[in-house]
Amino acid sequence: MRVGVVGATGYVGSELCRWLLEHPRFELTSVVSTSRAGRALADEVPALSGLTDLVLQPFDERLGALDAVFLATPHGAARPLVGALDGVPLLVDASADHRHAPGWVYGQPELVGDALVGATRIAAPGCFATALELAIGPLVKAGLVTGAVTATGMTGSTGSGATPSDGTHHPLRAVNLKAYKVLSHQHVPEVRGLLAALGEAPPLHFVPHSAPVDRGILVTAFVPVSGSPMSALDDAYRGHRLVRRRVGSPELRHVRGTAFADLAVAEGAGVAVVMVAIDNLGKGAAAQAVQAANVALGWEGTTGLLRAATTP
């Protein structure tokens, strides 16, 4: 299948290119950058040197002839483009633009997989949303949650995109740790929407933190429960190879550059502490977009995605 990536030089876009270039069933034939058209993709993303000779192109009618297009544009930029892509059989939007849009399927494969089969318009979940949903979703679906959920999360600087800012500037981030968007993160409504589709959505109080790492998310959710949360999580992810159960705390280094989510749970008196580690550019963005496309097309969800982290 011939596919294209719009926004190919951003962090998510270049990560999509990396996964798609090595995918056994997708052929990456078009890469779009409105600001860098005419330049070689490998010159703009040196990590892809030796893997592709593709040249960046402007957004134009040539994309309409493709079998699938992945949108990795800044938030707010994808919505105006989709009209020109009406004839493309499969669109996957990695931005936030279509996560609540009619006609678009929310692309969280482990929790809504059946709805993805045959989908033609997919909205990939946000990075924090992915980790929170994986932590809480099965417990809501099993009817075990008895009250409000409190969660914290730490994220790497690539979660803010490639455009430099105070929040990503190395001298300000490298030796610092701070909370931001306390109780007001934009992914919370997204998470609550999915939880409501799975069962009775509890209140969710979420505090994200900027961590001194470049990529990765570690979420810790404190979930009041009755019953057996471990059994519910085991049942939910049995057969889902990209969600790995861990003993003790998951670690970012084990998921870096991968499509995996590592999950662990500790039980106390009436509470489950669920921890999830993902790569925010992998399972939290590009790799999950490819996974959702795999499922939509009737392929094994892990196709082209089983890769180990590069860690000692």
Do 136 and 264 belong to one domain?
yes
* Residue 161: pLDDT band with limits 50, 70, 90: low
Q: What distance separates the 2 farthest-apart alpha carbons in the chain?
A: 61
pLDDT of the residue at 157: 87
Is the per-residue pLDDT at 164 higher than 80?
A: no
pLDDT of the residue at 98: 98
Do 73 and 188 belong to one domain?
no
Q: Domain for residue 87, yes or no?
A: yes
- Average confidence (pLDDT) over 163-191: 85
pLDDT of the residue at 102: 97
Which tens digits make up the pLDDT trace of 61-98?
Answer: 899 999 999 999 999 999 999 999 999 999 999 999 99
Do 132 and 270 belong to one domain?
yes
DSSP codes of every residue in 121-182: EEEPPPHHHHHHHHHHHHHHHTT-B-S-EEEEEEE-GGGG-SS--TTT-HHHHTT--EE-ST
Close Cβ partners of 31 (under 8 Å, ≥ 6 residues apart): 4, 5, 8, 17, 41, 54, 55, 56, 57
pLDDT of the residue at 223: 99
pLDDT of the residue at 158: 85
Q: What would the two tokens of residue 237 be?
A: 């992810």
pLDDT of the residue at 239: 96
* Residue 171: pLDDT band with limits 50, 70, 90: confident
Do 158 and 267 belong to one domain?
yes
User: Of 128-142, 173-187, 199-213, 239-253, which gets the smallest average pLDDT?
Assistant: 173-187
Do 54 and 8 belong to one domain?
yes
Do 238 and 98 belong to one domain?
no
Q: Domain for residue 308, yes or no?
A: no
Do 217 and 251 belong to one domain?
yes
- Average confidence (pLDDT) over 147-176: 82
Q: Domain for residue 312, yes or no?
A: no
pLDDT of the residue at 11: 96
Q: What would the two tokens of residue 125 be?
A: 């979940």
Q: What's the chain's average pLDDT?
A: 96
Q: Domain for residue 304, yes or no?
A: no
- Cα separations in angstroms, 260 against 14, 51, 300, 307: 18, 23, 15, 9
Q: Domain for residue 301, yes or no?
A: no
User: Of 44-48, 156-160, 267-271, 286-290, which gets the smallest average pLDDT?
Assistant: 156-160
Is the per-residue pLDDT at 311 higher than 80?
A: no
Domain of residue 118 covers 2-125+284-296
Find the catalytic residue in 127, 252, 272, 277: 127
Which tens digits make up the pLDDT trace of 33-70?
Answer: 999 999 999 999 999 999 999 999 999 989 999 999 99
Alpha-carbon distance 77 to 70, whole Å? Answer: 13
- What is the domain-level CATH number for residue 103? 3.40.50.720
Do 107 and 232 belong to one domain?
no
Do 109 and 137 belong to one domain?
no
pLDDT of the residue at 165: 67
pLDDT of the residue at 169: 73
Q: Domain for residue 311, yes or no?
A: no
* Residue 245: pLDDT band with limits 50, 70, 90: very high
pLDDT of the residue at 160: 64
Do 36 and 132 belong to one domain?
no
Alpha-carbon distance 18 to 2, whole Å? Answer: 15
Number of domains, the chain: 2
Please say whether the beta carbons of 112 and 106 come within 8 A: yes
- Average confidence (pLDDT) over 280-297: 99
Q: Domain for residue 111, yes or no?
A: yes
pLDDT of the residue at 224: 99
Percent residues over pLDDT 90 in the chain: 91
Q: Domain for residue 302, yes or no?
A: no
Between strands 217-224 and 149-155, the pairing is antiparallel
Do 274 and 290 belong to one domain?
no
- What is the domain-level CATH number for residue 133? 3.30.360.10
pLDDT of the residue at 170: 75
Q: Determine whether 127 is an active site residue.
A: yes
CA-based nearest residue to 138, from 105, 107, 108? 108
Do 102 and 25 belong to one domain?
yes
